[in-house]
Amino acid sequence: MQEDKKNKKEKGKSFLETVREIDEKEKRMEEEAEEKRRQILAEKQKKEREEYDKRIRQERIELMRLKQGVITESEMIPTKDDEAPKLSFWKKIGNFFYHSKWWLVITVFIVSVFTYMIVDYITTVRPDMIVMVLTDDLTLQSSNDYLSNYFEQYVDDVNEDGEISVDIYRIPIDNDISNAEYYTGNMTKLSSQFQLADSIMVITDAVANEKILAEETLVNLEELFPDNKNVRGTGFYIRDTDFMEKVGYTDTVLDRDICIGLRKVTKTYDSIEEMQENYDYAFSVLEKIIDDLPYEKKVRTLEPEAYTEGGLS
């Protein structure tokens, strides 16, 4: 437990710094791959030019030998009798398919993939709301449906599919970089989600807030709910509420730094109008949650088996 507390307080690289490093690494790899492609292409073109020049020289020599009567025919220089016979229309079609079959297969494959993606995007039913869980708290990162069920009681049938659904995107953010592949994967997922406009509500802690630069990326809720004891800065802190009881964890006390926040409306890959619409709806849901979770000072016990708790005391 003490080690978890220490790790959580240690500062790591910020979210934007990590994203920049990932982008720079990918850019270097792309540049190296492009340089290698250029070298291969240059070598291929050089070889083709050399072979072409060699063939031209040989044909000139053969032509001179023909004119001088040294030889009577040449395999390199076709005569009129050697010209390819004229093909019928259907034979031309067959010949085209025979020589272009691999390009046709590749083209059909690419068209099929893009068609599938477009159809999937059009026909896939989107959730009524998305909540990102960025804290590494083990309870909140558990994969059952208790968080979805909790948020669904405050959500309407936005997509008008006859059902109410809230998707929970779990991306645990911490300072542990011992598993570089796992750490980079989570940061890449986080970066991708922050480039989209559909996931506005986030559940974070101190480490996650530092990584995502919360003061720059999240809304200052203290300005919107100045009289609420659970609101500080960019977060609605759920430690001193009955949030855990409502989601079915009566024997669990959360860290003090776990809170709910809202992303600021900014330009992403989606339109700013779409993000504003999603923000307005997420804000209305947060208002309902705040009204339903009044301040309730938690009485703590010294008995370790009675409560489980995370990093901050």
Per-residue pLDDT band at 235 (split at 50, 70, 90): very high
186, part of any domain: yes
pLDDT band at 106 (very low <50, low <70, confident <90, very high): confident
Looking at the structure, tell me whether residues 99 and 144 fall in a common domain: no
- Which of 92-96, 109-113, 286-290 is the least confident region? 92-96
Tokens of residue 151, six digits: 């948020």
In this structure, the answer to whether residues 200 and 53 fall within a common structural domain is no
Mean pLDDT of 181-185: 86
pLDDT in tens, 62-92: 777 777 766 666 666 555 554 555 666 666 6
Give the residue with greater pLDDT, 308 vs 49.
Answer: 49
Give the residue, 278 or 29, on which the prediction is more confident.
278
In a domain, 303, yes or no: no
Give the residue, 232 or 181, on which the prediction is more confident. Answer: 232
Domain count, the chain: 3
pTM, two decimals, is 0.59
118 and 244 belong to one structural domain: no
pLDDT in tens, 237-251: 999 999 988 888 877
Report if residue 221 sits inside a domain: yes
pLDDT category at 46 given cuts 50, 70, 90 is confident
CATH code for the domain of 264: 3.40.190
- Residues 148 and 232 grouped into a single domain: yes
Domain that holds residue 55: 31-80
Burial class (CB in 10 A: 0-12, 13-18, 19+), 212: buried
Whether 111 and 37 map to the same domain: the answer is no
In a domain, 272, yes or no: yes
Tokens of 178: 């011992």
**Both 106 and 196 in a single domain?**
no
